[in-house]
Amino acid sequence: MKVTVSLIKADIGSVVGHVVVADEIKAIAEERLKRAVVDEKIIDFRVFNAGDDLELLMTHRRGVNSEEVHELAWETFNECAERAKELKLYGAGQDLLKDSFSGNIRGLGPGIAEMEFTERKSEPLIAFMMDKTEPGAFNLPFFRIFADPFNTAGLVIDPSMHSGFIFEIWDILEHRRVKMSSPEEIYSILALIGGKSRFVIKRVYPKPGKLPGDEPVAVVSTEKLYQVAGEYVGKDDPVALVRAQSGLPAVGEILEAFSFPHLVSGWMRGSHNGPLMPVSFRYAKCTRFDGPPRCIAAGFQVCNGKLIGPIDLFDDPAFDYTRQKAMEIVEYMRKHGPFEPHRLSAEEMEYTTLPKVLKNLKERFEKI
Ligand code: F6R
Ligand code: MG
Ligand code: MG
């Protein structure tokens, strides 16, 4: 039987600046989703926060882009935002960029990662949730997971993974997409996704074999807030879902890809490059220079649409070295202050508040 997993998120206000979602706000979301389970709109849910982002993980049988489920998320965010406004929480209602719901939550501000698939005999699933970075932050680890034999032993050893995977890559500037096959086209895939502010991995599909080829095994949220709002309203802190095991990368192969704290854009004012630090749920709060960018991983077994978990997967000393390395990189990058490449490239700064500052200087220039 098919199940749909929808992970929908929004920054609707946080406590002490952009640090964390208030417990009271999470409780409102939980109440709302509990009612939706009773009303049989959804089968199960979990509410998380990745820093200042409120994350709604829901399972149901309504397929992707379900109006009921999107409306439920939209109403939940709005109810939470109302309370956040009463409490004068910081940035209350920040990501809810449109006034009304019109059938789909896409294009209204929140980020969405959802996929429908046939539930296997046993269905391990990981939800990744990041704060203070953008969707392209998933490019490097997702390439490693599904295409790099030095990360994923199964690509070499497991006959059912040996043929590789299909990547669906989105050009989020030109609004077009392309499907590419790994390993045949890995150099071309990298030619695109190395430019992570523009080309992002949206979905990964299996090659013909044990699993239905039209059902994704991984999906990333790719919404760009800037494109909805037309001005800087914060980074598009992304989320992703990945299925694991039995012919797919093992949980440990998926997590291994996060053991390298690669540089991502975001951090302070969405304007800086910094290392992505994998952390436990309790450290999903960005403090130093509003960062560094973070990622949490919640592991589940899906059982007839019910969620067994979460397991806090980065809550493991095995990731201490990665975190230590990330902090060494933080020290190094911070020493650059306002200089590139700590500050984003001029091209990427277009989508921040810097152009407003530069505009004021325009009159002062004379020809040379
Ligand atoms: C980054 C982020 C924060 C804010 C910064 C300034 O995604 O949310 O780093 O950009 O704290 O926030 P404002 O302009 O709201 O004072
Ligand atoms: Mg915020
Ligand atoms: Mg955030």
DSSP structure class, residue 351: T
Sign of the CA dihedral running 271, 130, 97, 22: negative
SS3 48: strand
Q: Does residue 235 carry a catalytic annotation?
A: yes
DSSP 76-140: HHHHHHHHHHHTT-BTTTTT--SSS--S-STTSS-EEEEEEEE--SSEEEEEEEEESB-GGGGHH
What is the spatial distance between Cα 25 and Cα 221, in angstroms, rounded to a whole number? 23
DSSP H or E segment with residue 7: strand 2-10
Ligand 1 centre distance from Cα of residue 160 (Å): 45
Which protein residue has the closest C-alpha to ligand 1 atom 15?
A: 91
Q: What is the pLDDT of residue 232?
A: 78
Mutational pocket test of ligand 1: of 15, 18, 267, 273, the residue with most ligand atoms within 8 Å of the beta carbon: 18
Sign of the CA dihedral running 50, 56, 60, 63: negative
Give the count of alpha carbons within 13 A of 205, CB side only.
16
**Tokens (6 digits) for 151:** 């990360």
Which atom of ligand 1 is nearest the CA belonging to 235? Answer: 7
Ligand 2 centre distance from Cα of residue 61 (Å): 32
DSSP H or E segment with residue 203: strand 199-206
Q: Does residue 2 carry a catalytic annotation?
A: no
Ligand 1 centre distance from Cα of residue 94 (Å): 11
Ligand nearest to the CA of 285: 3
Where do we find the tokens 């709604």? 56
Q: What is the pLDDT of residue 364?
A: 94
Which atom of ligand 1 is nearest the CA belonging to 11? Answer: 8
The letter for the amino acid at 209 is G
DSSP 271-305: -EEEE-EE--GGG----BTTBS-EEEEEEEEEETT
Mean pLDDT by 10 residues, the chain (368 residues): 98 98 98 98 98 98 98 98 98 94 94 98 98 98 98 97 97 94 98 97 95 96 85 88 98 99 97 98 98 98 98 98 98 98 93 90 94
The letter for the amino acid at 312 is D
Q: What is the pLDDT of residue 229?
A: 82
**Tokens (6 digits) for 310:** 């979460």
Active-site annotation holder among 232, 236, 237, 290: 232
SS3 321: helix
Q: What is the pLDDT of residue 230?
A: 82
Return the number of other C-beta atoms located less than 10 Å from residue 266's C-beta. Answer: 30
DSSP H or E segment with residue 33: helix 23-38
Which atom of ligand 1 is nearest the CA belonging to 132? Answer: 7
Ligand 2 centre distance from Cα of residue 225 (Å): 12
Which atom of ligand 1 is nearest the CA belonging to 52? Answer: 8
Q: Is 293 in the pocket of ligand 1 (CB under 6 A)?
A: no
Q: What is the pTM of this model?
A: 0.98
